[in-house]
Amino acid sequence: MERRVVVTGLGVVSSLGLNIQDFFDNLLKGKSGVSRITRFDVSNLEVQFAAEIKNFPFTDRFDVKLAKRTDRFTQYALWASLSAVEDAQLDLNKLDKTKAGVIIGSGMGGIETWEIEHIKFLQGGPKKVSPLLVPMMIPDMASGQVSIYFGFKGPNFCVTSACASGAHAIGEAFRLIKSGDADLIITGGSEAPITGYCISSFANMGALSKRNEEPEKASRPFDRDRNGFVLGEGCGVVILEELGSALKRNAKIYCEICGYGASADAYHITAPDENGEGAYMAMANALKEAKLSPTDIDYINAHGTSTKLNDKVEVMAIKRLFGEHAYKLLVNSTKSMIGHLLGGAGAIEFVVTCLSVYYNKVHPTINLDNPDEGMDLDFVRFQMREKEIFAALNNSFGFGGHNACLAVKKFVGG
């Protein structure tokens, strides 16, 4: 019999909250987490705002020594992982830790540490560079540190596929549990890219909105006046667990993850395939593995970046796959409120998808004042919607042409 995989715990770090309740409540209210950056001087930057996490209290829950030896992206992952473990009410003493793994994706890794240490190198020479640079910078260290913290000895690695990293990580974790290589995996994605260096690069390539005068209105997916995405930071983590294990310990089950589709555009380093072939294939493959038909889907948490081409191509792919049913779907973009978390985006948006299926509530897409030509799906404009959701998809697409789609359905019994 094929092993089934369920979601039993959730954890987040975001500009709209450091716990699931605050985070989801703020999303449902349509609150923006975007504001002027306060962490460092932005007066010389072309883009001066982001979805920044202010006053992150890492040492309230973790040792000061650990704080000094970890980059911000790893700290986010540790916080969200601990929250997810607590939410799942796991008894770590009863867990077979050889069958428990950690897979956390990151697109950029410790970019803040890299930037700080590079400045030291330029100003003071080689001896000024910290010996901790490498273990703080490499993208796999979030997975590594979480594994060390909990003592999990099962599959442990990082997925790096740009903005699809978190979704790919969850998909790979799903497959490992399904195949029997693990019984439980902490999985998701984490990113901390809000640095002057990183912002400058994205701004210079024309990817970011430059609406400094109205930062909370800058992220506007599917809107006629969108002009680029807003950089965000944070982490989304889920506990994936084999169904039998979850039922045995009487765990709360948010939903069942039942399909994972991955594809490549094989087209361009940053632009999506203009025909939407890769996005279409990822969604179609997820539905196939989930044994769901397009008409079974009630909701799609879209990639929805607020860039001209990306939004257009995603809507095109949805219409192609779903046909007339596309107009019966609820489609929203979490990025309208928390910006684009890059490697963490797919993971935190998967958390949102699980919450929507569990609570039958879909948050609004904010700033969608004037839908662009062809953007005529139900994007849940203006206010949240309550609707019975049986099954949903979560889309993530990354630079390099990486596409991932995760399918979940309501858990209705063993």
135 located within any domain: yes
Q: Residue 145 sits in which domain range?
A: 5-248
The whole-number average pLDDT for the span 372-389 is 97
Pair 293, 225 in one domain:
no
253 located within any domain: no
Pair 386, 302 in one domain:
yes
Sole residue written with tokens 């493959």? 285
Joined tokens for residue 60? 């309230």
Sole residue written with tokens 């179609």? 284
Pair 38, 85 in one domain:
yes
pLDDT of 1 over the 90 cut = no
Confidence of residue 413 (pLDDT cuts 50, 70, 90): confident
**Tens-digit pLDDT profile for residues 251-271:** 999 999 999 999 999 999 989
pLDDT of 59 over the 90 cut = yes
> Which stretches does DSSP call E strand in 170-213?
184-191
254 located within any domain: no
Confidence of residue 414 (pLDDT cuts 50, 70, 90): low
Indicate the residue among 202, 227, 248 that finishes a domain: 248
The whole-number average pLDDT for the span 55-81 is 98
Distance CA 18, CA 245 (A): 28
267 located within any domain: yes
Pair 351, 405 in one domain:
yes
The whole-number average pLDDT for the span 230-236 is 98
Pair 392, 331 in one domain:
yes
Give the pLDDT score at 61. Answer: 98
**Tens-digit pLDDT profile for residues 132-157:** 999 999 999 999 999 999 999 999 99
Any idea what the CATH number is for the domain that residue 41 is in?
3.40.47.10
Give the pLDDT score at 2. Answer: 87
Pair 216, 285 in one domain:
no
Pair 378, 264 in one domain:
yes
115 located within any domain: yes
Give the pLDDT score at 85. Answer: 98
Pair 292, 402 in one domain:
yes
Indicate the residue among 208, 229, 248 that finishes a domain: 248
- Give the count of beta carbons closer than 10 Å to the beta carbon of residue 44: 8
Percent of the chain with pLDDT over 70: 100
Indicate the residue among 223, 248, 273 that finishes a domain: 248
pTM of the model: 0.98
pLDDT of 28 over the 80 cut = yes
Q: Give 39's Cβ-side CA count (13 Å radius).
A: 18
Q: 3-state DSSP call for residue 48? A: coil
**Tens-digit pLDDT profile for residues 199-214:** 999 999 999 999 999 9
405 located within any domain: yes
21 located within any domain: yes
Joined tokens for residue 402? 């990486």
**Tens-digit pLDDT profile for residues 336-373:** 999 999 999 999 999 999 999 999 999 999 999 999 99
Pair 48, 101 in one domain:
yes
Pair 65, 205 in one domain:
yes
Pair 210, 294 in one domain:
no
Question: Could you give the number of structural domains in the chain?
Answer: 2
Residues labelled as active-site residues: 163, 303, 340
- At residue 82, φ and ψ (nearest 5 deg) are -60, -40
Percent of the chain with pLDDT over 90: 97
pLDDT of 295 over the 90 cut = yes
Helix, strand counts (H, E) of the chain: 13, 14
337 located within any domain: yes
Instruction: Please say whether the beta carbons of 112 and 196 come within 8 A.
Output: no
Pair 307, 358 in one domain:
yes
